[in-house]
Amino acid sequence: MAQLHRKFTDEQVKELIEKYLREEVGRKYLQDILGINKTRFFALVKAYRDSPSEFSIRYVRKGKTRAIPEAVEGNILKELAIEKKLIDDENVPLRSYNYSYIKDHLERQYKQKVSLPTIIDRARKHDFYLRKPKRTAHDREVLTNYAGELIQHDSSYHLWAPNAQEKWYLITSLDDYSRFILYAQLLKKETSWAHILALESLILTHGLPFSYYVDCHSIFRFVQGRDSLWRKHHTLTDETDPQWKQVLYDCNVKIIYALSPQAKGKIERPYQWLQDRLVRTCVRENVSDIRQGQKILNQEIRRYNYRQVHSTTQEVPYFRLQRALKEGTSLFREFKVKPPFQSVKDIFCLRLDRTVDPYRRVSIKNLVLKVNAVTSGAKVNIRVYPLNQFLSELRFWCNGQLVDVQRAKNRDLNLSTF
C-alpha cells in the first residue's frame, strides 16, 4: 500500500476524488496516479464522502508503543552505567558511548533483542548521552589498486583491560586494499624483535607485500638529530638502519614513512574500532591477564575480518581479499630465502657485525664466543634468532658462508632490553 502522505497533500487527493465523483476522470487512471489498488481507492472515496471537511491522508499511529520487559530495561541501564564509568575513567581510552556494542552485547550475553533507537532513547532519558564532537573531514578512499600493495603497520599503547591495571601494546598490520587485518598481537613490551616477529608471521602466511607503511618511530627509522648512536635505541645495532628495516631490505620490500599522525589515519580507524570493542569486552568479562585479552582480541579480529561490512569498501574484508587473489589483482609474492642464506632464521632475525680478535673470538656485551673456521681480523655478521624467552641461536656468516652456529642465553646477550 502506497504511503500517500509522503507523495501528495490532502488537497491534491481531494481534487482527484472530486473529479472521479463528477465522472471527469476514470478510476483506473486515478489509481495509477496515486499508486494504489482498487480497495484502497474506494476506501478513500468513502472517507471523503462521509466527511469531506475532516478528510485527511495524514498517517496517525493508533496503537500504543509496546513497552519492553522490565528485565530488558534493567539490562540496558546496567550496560549504559558500565559505559559511563569507562568514559569517566581518564586512564581508559574511551570517550563516547557505543550503543551498537550494547545492542550486540545484549543479544550475545542475555539473548535479548533490542532495537538501537530504543537503547538511544533510554540513554537520552537517563543522561547516558554525549554529543559526538565535530570531526575534520578526511578522505576514506582506498588509494591502492591491489592487495598487498601497501601494508599499514603500527602499534598502540593503551589500558586495553582496566582490570589488569597495566597498559599493553597492540601491534597490528592491515592490508590497505582489502582492509583485512593480517596481524594483531597484544604485548607487555614493545621491542624491535616483536615487530620482526610480526613481519615473519605475515610474510610466511600471506607472502611478500610490495610495501610497508609506518610512522617514524625509532624502531622503524633512524632520524638524525632525534636518535643518537650514543643512545641505545637499538641494542645490538651497529649501523644506523634499525633492525626492522634491515629485515625488509633482505626481503626486497619497500618502506614508506608517514610524516605526520594525520597521514596514519587509515590504520588509526581500525584501531579505534578495536579499541571500542576490545576494551568494552575485556571489562565485561573481567579480563586481567594478557592471554585472556589476546583471546578476546582474536574473537574481535575474526568478527571484523570475516563478518563485518567495511564502511569504506562496502565489502567484508576477507571476501574482498579473496576476490583480489582469485582475480590476480594482488602484489603478494611467494617468500623464498635469498641466497646465500639458508633459513628463515637468517632473515627474520637481529643482526650485528663483529671483528674476530687474534684468538678467533668475538664479544657481545660481556659474552665472549670463539668462532670456528675464521681467521684473525675477519669480519663476521652474526644473525641472532631468539628461540624462546631464554635461549637464542647465533648464526655466524663470513664472506657469504655460514661458518658456525651456536646458542646463547638471552640474558647474556642482553636481549631483554631489545
Inside any domain, residue 143: no
Grid cell in block for residue 118? 530504543
| 91 and 25 assigned to the same domain | no
- Pair (180, 306) in one structural domain: yes
Q: What is the reported pLDDT for 138?
A: 47
Q: Which of 404, 352, 398 is nearest to 379 (CA)?
A: 398
Concatenated DSSP letters for 54-106? G--------SPPPPPPHHHHHHHHHHHHHHHHHHH-TTSS--S--HHHHHHHH
For residue 337, tell me if it sits in a domain. Answer: no
Question: Are 267 and 172 in contact, with CB atoms under 8 Å apart?
Answer: yes
Same domain flag for 217 and 357: no
Rounded Cα distance between 335 and 250, Å, is 11
The whole-number pLDDT of residue 357 equals 96
What is the model's pTM? Answer: 0.76
**Beta strand residue intervals within 176-311, DSSP E:** 181-187, 211-214, 254-257
- Kindly give the pairing relationship between strand 254-257 and strand 211-214: parallel
Q: Which domain holds residue 208?
A: 151-327
Identify the pLDDT of residue 31: 86
Q: Looking at the structure, do residues 218 and 321 belong to the same domain, yes or no?
A: yes
Would 145 be classed as within a structural domain?
no
Fill in the amino acid letter for 354: R
* pLDDT (0 to 100) of residue 75: 94
pLDDT at 284: 94
In a domain, 134, yes or no: no
**Does residue 80 lie within any of the structural domains?**
yes
Torsion sign over Cα 232, 233, 235, 238 = negative
Q: What stretches in the chain show pLDDT beneath 70?
A: 1-3, 59-66, 132-142, 223-239, 260-271, 416-418
pLDDT on residue 250: 95
User: Edge to edge, what strands does the sheet with 168-175 contain?
Assistant: 181-187, 168-175, 151-158, 211-214, 254-257
Please indicate, yes or no, whether residues 245 and 175 belong to a single structural domain of this protein: yes
Supply the CATH number for residue 233's domain: 3.30.420.10
**Do residues 315 and 192 both lie within one domain?**
yes
pLDDT of 395 reads: 98
Using alpha carbons, select from 308, 312, 288 the residue that is nearest to residue 299.
Answer: 308
pLDDT in tens, 70-102: 999 999 999 999 999 999 998 888 888 999 999
Asked if the structure places residue 338 within a domain, the reply is: no
Residues 204, 79, single domain; the answer is no
Instruction: Report if residue 256 sits inside a domain.
Output: yes
- Whether 26 and 77 map to the same domain: the answer is no
What is the distance between the alpha carbons of residues 235 and 27, in angstroms, rounded to a whole number?
Answer: 88
- Is there a single domain that holds both residue 321 and residue 199? yes
In SS3 terms, 218-229 reads as CCCCCCECCECC
Q: Cα(325)–Cα(320) distance, rounded to whole angstroms? A: 9
How many domains, in total, are found in the chain? 4
Strand partners, 398: 401
pLDDT for 8: 82
Task: For residues 170 and 221, state if they share a domain.
Answer: yes
- Whole-number pLDDT of residue 405: 97
SS3 171: strand
Looking at the domain assignment, is residue 404 inside a domain?
yes
Q: What Å distances lie between residue 176 and 10, 184, 269, 277, CA to CA? A: 53, 15, 12, 21
